[in-house]
Chains A and B, each alone.
Chain A
Amino acid sequence: MRIQLRHVSKTFPPRQRALADINLEIRESELIFICGPSGAGKSTLLKLLFREIEPSEGEILIDGLNVTRLRSRGVARLRRKMGLVFQEFRFLPALNVLDNVALAAQVLGVSKKQSRVKAYQLLRELGLKDRHDAKPFMLSGGEQQRVAIARALINDPALIIADEPTGNIDHELADDIMQLFLKIRDGGATVVIATHDRGLIQRYGARVIKLERGFMADASPAHIPMPEYTW
């Protein structure tokens, strides 16, 4: 999916500016990092992409479609092509891990059986096959992170939006997850990752967009390793 942000600003009431005049283009099948300190506007930018919030100014085009003008039906249709990994995971506590993952497929009309089979395969791939029956609160932060990723991947999305997907896990596991994202990108999907993890950014030579206090502070070209960040 190709993403274009044109003069996008976001101000929360009463006058809290979260993003200011963001111009950005993300190419199809690109993996891109959005980085910056806490409060820089990374999560806001991601939420604008999947239309959880609307920009105060500017427009966002996804595959040429102006998402700022979409009505609820259009937003739902757009999100079906996306896989979302949230910083706070957002699981249903009453459901076990397998059903949390499978639900995302079920709401799109996949049968309960098929969705569970696919969810199980993904969990196995992410090293969680023995934890499929556990409730989310019984898992460690890293395990929850992987469940969230499994849920994001279950509908074979064309765009992955991940907010701190490696925030709670060790380097080794973070690399495994990044390998998975790279594999998805190689399959044709666009991957947008917001992260604090400087090491991760340095290990994977993807384009980096740096945000500071809502402004685009820096943007590195793709495939050039980033210098040490100071945030």
Chain B
Amino acid sequence: MKVSLVGLVFRQVRSSLRHLCWSHILASLTMALTLFVFGAFMMLQANLEQLLTAWGDQMQITAYLGRALEPTELERLLKSVETLPEVERVRYTSQTQAWNDFQTALGAQSGLLEGLPHDVLPASIEISIKRGQRDSSTVEQVAQRLRAEKEIASVEYPQQWVERLGLTVLAVAWAKWIVGGVFFLATFFIVGSTVKLALYARRGEVEIMQLVGASETLIQAPFVLEGMLQGMTGAALALAALWGGYALTRQEIESFAGAVGWFGHVRFLNLEGAAFLVAIGWVVGAAGSVISLRRIVKTWRGSEAIV
């Protein structure tokens, strides 16, 4: 497109923003509301994923030994477990160390252990699984292989909780797209209606442009640009509202999370997330305009009522 045509497009956009100011504001606010809801889901998902990662880092399989092993037996067993491809780290806890750890954990209540033999707690091996392989089937496979070792009496791991949290994250991701989808659909129609309104307000201008041979691109460009502007304005408003909400509620959420033993701090959307939100606003704004335009301009072109 020639530079002079770009100038013409911008003049038309400026004129439309001035004359149809309220409909543009309405479309931008609707877009902001939609992107706010979508962004809130994005934040929830990101924070739950962070929690899941933190839990995953802490998660390990504990294999309890059936009896005290000879050093050579222990060395063989540890080597055998270490060489499993899914295993990241192995840590052996002897019966004495387990007793000491338990005493430390009980603190002032450690007197309760008086009279008990020091070998009452079994020796154990704590096994960390490599990141990216902490899914239930891999963990279960490792557990099966551990159970096959005759020196190991039992195997325990908190997989169920991780699985449940994983499902929650998945549900949030789905909810984000379903609820977001409904909102986007509504926004899509509102942006489309705004464009339709702008198009009807400038029908004379569009018809004249068509009659003097203006290209379709030139006729549609101002409307598409307006849709994009609405989308990006909506995204900026949504990000500001999300930031406001985050700043106001962050401390309360963190103290609640700390009280129930969850994670340390709530995260705002990262740069990629914020850029994604702006990009979605941009695309929905542009798409709403383009689809509306194609439908209406085609109807006008084929209209026989002007004769």
Please report A residues at the B interface, Cβ cutoff 8 Å: 12-13, 18, 43-44, 47, 50, 52-53, 72-73, 76-82, 84, 90-94, 103-104, 106-112, 151, 155
Max count, chain B CB within 10 A of own CB: residue among A76, A92, A108: A76
The answer on a CB contact under 8 Å between B216 and A73 is yes
| Chain B 274-307 interface residues, beta-carbon cutoff 8 Å to A | 301, 304, 306-307
A82 to B8, CA, bound (A): 21
The answer on a CB contact under 8 Å between A76 and B2 is no
A-B contact pairs, 26 of them (CB 8 A): A12-B304, A12-B307, A13-B304, A50-B211, A53-B307, A72-B301, A73-B216, A76-B213, A76-B215, A76-B216, A79-B210, A79-B211, A79-B212, A82-B213, A90-B207, A91-B208, A103-B212, A106-B4, A107-B209, A107-B218, A108-B213, A109-B2, A109-B4, A111-B4, A112-B4, A112-B7
The answer on a CB contact under 8 Å between A107 and B205 is no
Question: Which residues of A sit under 8 angstroms from B7, Cβ to Cβ?
Answer: 111-112
The answer on a CB contact under 8 Å between B4 and A104 is no
In angstroms, how far is the closest chain B Cβ from the Cβ of A153? 12
Question: Which residues of A sit under 8 angstroms from B307, Cβ to Cβ?
Answer: 12, 18, 43-44, 47, 53
In angstroms, how far is the closest chain B Cβ from the Cβ of A167? 17
| Chain B 1-19 interface residues, beta-carbon cutoff 8 Å to A | 2, 4-5, 7-8, 15
Q: Identify the closest chain A residue to B297 (Cβ).
A: A72
| Chain B 249-267 interface residues, beta-carbon cutoff 8 Å to A | none
Question: B204 near A: Cβ within 8 Å?
Answer: yes
Question: Which residues of B sit under 8 angstroms from A52, Cβ to Cβ?
Answer: 211, 306
A18 to B307, CA, bound (A): 10
Question: Which residues of A sit under 8 angstroms from B211, Cβ to Cβ?
Answer: 50, 52, 79, 84, 90
Question: Which residues of A sit under 8 angstroms from B20, Cβ to Cβ?
Answer: none
Question: B214 near A: Cβ within 8 Å?
Answer: yes
A47 to B207, CA, bound (A): 13
The answer on a CB contact under 8 Å between A107 and B212 is yes
What 1/0 flags go to B213-230 for Cβ under 8 Å of A?
111101000000000000
Question: Which residues of B sit under 8 angstroms from A103, Cβ to Cβ?
Answer: 208-209, 212
A18 to B210, CA, bound (A): 23
The answer on a CB contact under 8 Å between A110 and B204 is no
The answer on a CB contact under 8 Å between B214 and A76 is yes
In angstroms, how far is the closest chain B Cβ from the Cβ of A117? 13
A109 to B5, CA, bound (A): 5
Question: Which residues of A sit under 8 angstroms from B214, Cβ to Cβ?
Answer: 76, 107-108
Question: Which residues of A sit under 8 angstroms from B8, Cβ to Cβ?
Answer: 106-107, 112
The answer on a CB contact under 8 Å between B306 and A79 is no
The answer on a CB contact under 8 Å between B304 and A53 is yes
The answer on a CB contact under 8 Å between A92 and B204 is yes
Question: Which residues of B sit under 8 angstroms from A44, Cβ to Cβ?
Answer: 307
Q: Identify the closest chain B residue to A111 (Cβ).
A: B4
A82 to B5, CA, bound (A): 20
Question: Which residues of A sit under 8 angstroms from B212, Cβ to Cβ?
Answer: 79-80, 84, 103-104, 107-108, 151, 155
Question: Which residues of B sit under 8 angstroms from A94, Cβ to Cβ?
Answer: 15
In angstroms, how far is the closest chain B Cβ from the Cβ of A160? 13
Question: Which residues of B sit under 8 angstroms from A12, Cβ to Cβ?
Answer: 304, 307
A109 to B306, CA, bound (A): 28
A52 to B4, CA, bound (A): 27
Question: Which residues of A sit under 8 angstroms from B215, Cβ to Cβ?
Answer: 73, 76
The answer on a CB contact under 8 Å between A92 and B4 is no
Q: Identify the closest chain B residue to A80 (Cβ).
A: B213
Max count, chain B CB within 10 A of own CB: residue among A13, A53, A106, A110: A106
A52 to B306, CA, bound (A): 9
Q: Identify the closest chain B residue to A104 (Cβ).
A: B212
